[in-house]
Amino acid sequence: MDYQAIMEKYQHVEGGLLEAFHAVQDEINYLPEEAIITAAKIFNMPVKEAYGVATFYSYFSTTPRGKYVIRMCKSAPCHVAGAEAVTQALEKELGIAVGETTKDGKFTLEFTECVGQCQKTPVITINGKPYLGVEPAKVAEILATCK
């Protein structure tokens, strides 16, 4: 992938490193080492600094993730609404533990803190799209919508 081409449009955007990383992740869902080294050159900073930014934010990942990133909210309002049971259902349905990616590279399951959709808990997001009031029994149905 041509990381240079994706990120160089942000070269002259002040503080544009985060925007550049977002642009890379829009393409491949994670930030490979090569992308971080390229970013350091474009933004004229030490690689360690670009790496420091890449690893600070939970939405950036330095390891490959699946096509669909599922985030299970575990903040207090979702916690008391039964987030743990939903997490177990997700793990069982996907055959992976939280933090892992399915072998076919389709799904990654992560924990997240509050995503600001607390009108109906518990909440999961799939590639940023929220699903509200998720019950364990509905998990399979929701996953089936990811083609």
Partner 1 sequence: MAQELRIVLRNVGKINPEQVDDYLKAGGYKSLEKARSMQPIKVIEEVKKSGLRGRGGAGFSTGQKWLFTYTVNSDEKYVVCNCDEGEPGTYKDRIILENDPHTLLEGMAICAYAVGAKKGYVYVRGEYPSLVDLLNKAASQAKAKGLLEDFDLEIRMGAGAYVCGEETALIESLEGHRGEPRVRPPYPPVSGLWQKPTIVNNVETFANIAPIIEKGASWFAGVGAQSFPGTKVLTLTGDIKNKTFIEVPTDTKVREVIYDFGGGMEDSKPFKAVQIGGTSGAFMPESQLDTSIDFDSMRKAGAALGSGAVFVLNTDRDMVDVVNRIAGFFEHESCGKCAPCREGTMRMQEILDKINSGNGTKKDLQTLEKLGRVMSLSCLCGLGQAAPAPTITAMKYFGAEFAAKLR
Strand 124-126 to strand 129-131: parallel, antiparallel, or no bridges (unpaired)? Answer: antiparallel
Query: How many CB atoms are located within 10 Å of the residue 79 CB?
Result: 13
Residues in 29-58 that interact with partner 1 by CB under 8 A: 43, 52-53, 56-58
CA distance 54 to 75: 24
Task: By CB under 8 A, tell whether 93 contacts partner 1.
Answer: no
Q: Output the smallest distance, CB 53 to partner 1, in A.
A: 6
Among 28, 115, 126, 142, binds partner 1 (CB under 8 A): 115
Where along the sequence are the contacts to partner 1 (CB under 8 A)? 14-19, 21-22, 43, 52-53, 56-60, 74-77, 79-80, 112-121, 125, 128
